[in-house]
Amino acid sequence: MAKDLQPKIEAHDFNFFYGQKQALFDINLTIPERRVTAFIGPSGCGKSTFLRSINRMNDLIEGTVINGQMVVDGTNVYDKEVDVVTLRRRIGMVFQKSIPFPKSIYENITYGLTLNESRTKAELDEIVEFSLRRSALWDEVKDRLNHSALGMSGGQQQRLCIARAIAINPEILLMDEPCSALDPISTAKVEELIDELKDTYTIVLVTHNMQQAGRVSDFTGFFLMGSLIEFDRTRTIFTSPSKKETEDYITGRFG
C-alpha cells in the first residue's frame, strides 16, 4: 500500500461459511480510505459475500458462520461489543436492484435520518437537497419531491438509492453491482457519480463488468471460487497481473 493512503477496511484471514459450505477462504486485504475499490470475478466467486460481510448484512441469513477479522477503522466489526445498527449507520449500501421504498422521494431520503433522532423540517430539507444534489438528481426531481419514488425511471431510482445512502452521512459506501440493471446512459451517470463521491467516501464496488472496474476504480481485487486471487492497483491488474488466473479472466479466456 502506497504511503499516501490510509487503510479503512482490513480483512485478516477472513473465512465465511453458509452452513457447511465455505464461501470465502482466508481473505486478506486492505481497502484504502477515499478511493474506489472494485471486486471482480465470475458469479458465485464470493465477491458479494465479502462486500456484505463488511456491514454484516450476512447476519440476516440463518446459519452463517465467520472466522477471522473484518476491521473497519481499527475495530473488528464482529466483536461482541459492536452494535450492528451503529455500524450500518456509518456504512451506506447500494444494492443491485434499485429498491426505493414505496414512499415519496422525500421520505425515501429522510428514512434513515428520522429513525433514531428527531430533526427539524429545515434540517431535513437541507439534507434532502444536499443528498439529491450529490447524487445528481436534484434538477430532475426537485419539483416532485412528494411524488412516489416508484414513478421514477430505473436509473433515477438507483441514484435515489445512492442519495438515500449518503443522506445518513456514512464514511463508507458499499455498492453491490449497482449498474447491472441499468441502461448504458444511466450506468454512465452512476459511474460519474462514483467518481465524484470518492473524494468524500471510501467506496467498495462489486461489479460483473470488468470495463466498469477499469473505468472507475483505483484498486481492484479478483475473486475466484471464494479466494482473493489478486489485489492491486487497477492499472496493474489490468495491464500486468501477476497471477495467471487473473490474466485469463481479464482477457476473457473464461468467466
Interface residues with another protein (CB under 8 A)?
55, 57, 60, 62, 85-86, 88-89, 91-93, 95, 97, 99, 101-102, 111-112, 115-116, 161, 164-165, 168
Please give the grid coordinates belonging to residue 72: 473497519
What is the identity of the amino acid at 61? Answer: I
Q: Smallest distance from the beta carbon of 55 to another protein, in angstroms? A: 7
Nearer to another protein by C-beta: 150 or 225?
150
Q: Which helix (H) or strand (E) covers residue 235, if one does? A: helix 234-239
d(Cα 191, Cα 7) in Å, to the nearest integer?
Answer: 23
Q: Which helix (H) or strand (E) covers residue 36, if one does? A: strand 36-40
d(Cα 124, Cα 116) in Å, to the nearest integer?
Answer: 14
Q: Smallest distance from the beta carbon of 242 to another protein, in angstroms? A: 34
Nearer to another protein by C-beta: 25 or 101?
101
Coil, strand or helix: which one is 91?
A: strand
Which residue from 184, 189, 228 is spatially nearest to 206, judged by alpha carbons? 228
d(Cα 91, Cα 169) in Å, to the nearest integer?
Answer: 9
Q: Smallest distance from the beta carbon of 213 to another protein, in angstroms? A: 22
Q: Smallest distance from the beta carbon of 207 to another protein, in angstroms? A: 18
Nearer to another protein by C-beta: 161 or 182?
161
Question: How many Cβ atoms are within 10 Å of 80's Cβ, its own excluded?
Answer: 5
Nearer to another protein by C-beta: 23 or 210?
23
Question: How many Cβ atoms are within 10 Å of 86's Cβ, its own excluded?
Answer: 9
Q: Smallest distance from the beta carbon of 112 to another protein, in angstroms? A: 4
Q: Smallest distance from the beta carbon of 21 to another protein, in angstroms? A: 17
Contact between 163 and 135 under an 8 Å Cβ cutoff? The reply is yes
Nearer to another protein by C-beta: 57 or 205?
57
Nearer to another protein by C-beta: 95 or 249?
95
